[in-house]
Amino acid sequence: MTDVIEHKNQDDEMVYRIDKRARRGEYYILIGDRQGEFVNNPIVIDGFTKLPSGFYKDGYGLTGGGNLALSEIRDKFDKNIDLTINNTNSSKIDARGKSVKVEFSHRELSKLNEVVRTIKRERNEDMRVEVQHFLGATFNQFKELKDTQPGYIPGRLAEILGHGSVISKLSTEDREALENLIPDYLSNIPGTLKAKKKLQVIFESLDAGKKIYLKKVIEEFRKKLERNGKSENVWQKFLSEYILVLKSNYGEVLEKESVSLQGKFPDFMLIDPYGYLDIYEIKKPSTNMLKLDPSRNNYYWDTEISKAIAQVENYAHQSQRQADTLSNDIRKAKGVEVNIVRPRGYIIAGRRSQLTSPKMQDDFRILCDSLSNIDVILYDDLLEGLETFVSRAGAEA
C-alpha cells in the first residue's frame, strides 16, 4: 500500500498530493482561479496524513473564512502569498521578502470557518424569511406567509456581545431595545431562594444598572441647571418624568392629563407607598425666592413664590372638597387606590446660590418653617440629595 495520496480533478490535473509517512503534502490551485492569481503554488500542508478541511477538493483553494483572510492579506501587503497550513496552534505572517510567507494553524482556521458558516446560515435564513414575508404580503396564494417574521437564532446574542466594541457602536434603536429587554430578561430568570448565587447575580445586575441610570439622571439634571434659561414647561416635563427617581419614597406619578379632573389641579401629583396624595408645584430654578423689607431688615417671599404657595393651598383645598370624585377618577384611570387626607404640598423652585448672605439663609429657613403643610425645595438641594444617595450606594457596594 502506497504512503502517498494523490487526487486529480476531472481534467486529470493534480489537486493535492500528501505523503502520509512524512505527514506533509502540497495542494495545487487551478490555473485561472482567483486565488491562484495571488497565492503561489503549491500550498504546503504540514502535519497531516490526508487533506484537512477548509480546502475545495476540486482545486479552487481555501474555502469560506480562509479565502476571505487571504484576500485581506493580499490587499494589505500587495504581494503574492506563500501559504502553509500547519497542524499546530501557531499562525504567523512574514512580509519581509518579495512574497508574504503565511502560516495558518488549521485549528484556528477551522474556528474561523465555523463562524463564517454560521453567519452565512443566519444571513440566508434572514433572507429566506424576508422573501416569505414579501410573498405573503404581496400574493394571495402565499397568504399563510403574511405574518412571517425573522426568528431569533440561538447563540447570536452571545456572539454579538463577545465583540469588545459593541457598546460604543450601539444606535439609539439598539439602546432602546436593550432598555426594554433587560427588565424582561431579569423578571423571567427562573430561580428560587435556594439558588442564592443566581439571585445574587440578578441583584448585582440590578444595582449596577440602577447606579448607571441614576448617574445619567444626575448628569442630565446638572446640564439643565447650568442652562439657566429653561422654561417652566421644560422643568415640569423633566421632573414629571424623573420625580420618582429624585424622590424615591413615592410609588406613582399622577399627571393632570391622565385623569379627567374638574376644576384647577397641579400639573402632577404623587402617590406615596401608603396611597396618600401629595401635590407638587413646579417653578423655574431662576425664580426669585426672597425680597428684602429695608424698614425691618427682614426677607419675605417674592411675588412668584407667594403665588405658588397660594396655588398649592388652593389645590389642597380643592382636592379635599372633591376627594370622592377625585379618588374614583384616579381609580378608573390608573387602577390605583388613593387616600386624599390633607394632601401635603411641595414647591420646587429657585437655587441655594440666591441665598447670598447668612441673613437670607436664616430668613429662608424661618419662612419655610412657618408654612403649614407646604415645603419649598430648592433645585440644587434636590440634586444634592440624589448625588448623596448614589455616592452612599457606591460606598456600600
Cis ω before 42 (30° cut-off from 0): yes
pLDDT (0 to 100) of residue 194: 46
Sign of CA pseudo-dihedral 30, 35, 40, 44: negative
Residues 250 and 177 placed together within one structural domain of the fold? no
pLDDT of residue 103: 95
Nearest in space to 101 (alpha carbons), one of 74, 83, 78, 77: 83
Q: Give the span between the Cα atoms of 313 and 178, in whole angstroms.
A: 43
pTM of the model: 0.50
Q: CB under 8 Å to 23, separation ≥6 — which residues? A: 46, 47, 48, 49, 87
Give the residue ranges of the chain where pLDDT is below 50.
Answer: 192-199, 202, 395, 397
The pLDDT value recorded for residue 268 is 74
Composition of the chain by helix, strand, coil, percent to 5: 50, 20, 30
Residues 292 and 208 in one domain: no
pLDDT at 176: 75
Instruction: Give the number of C-alpha atoms closer than 13 A to the C-alpha of residue 382, restricted to the C-beta side.
Output: 26
Judgement on whether residues 335 and 257 belong to the same structural domain of the protein: yes
pLDDT digits (tens, 9 = 90+) for 222-231: 888 887 666 7
Q: What is the CATH number of the domain that holds 364?
A: 3.40.1350
Does one domain contain both 208 and 314?
no
Is the domain of 100 the same as that of 184?
Answer: no
Residue with cell 463564517: 116
Shared-domain flag, residues 53 and 115 = yes
Query: Alpha helices of the chain — where are they, by DSSP H?
Result: 64-77, 106-138, 156-161, 172-187, 196-226, 232-246, 303-321, 323-334, 358-370, 379-396
Answer yes or no: do 357 and 268 share one domain.
yes
- 79 with 115, same domain: the answer is yes
Neighbours of 189 (CB within 10 A): 12
57, containing H or E segment: none
Q: Domain span at residue 350?
A: 229-396
- Same domain for 233 and 222: no
151/130 same-domain check: yes
Nearest to 284 by CA among 343, 347, 332: 347
Same domain, 156 and 210: no
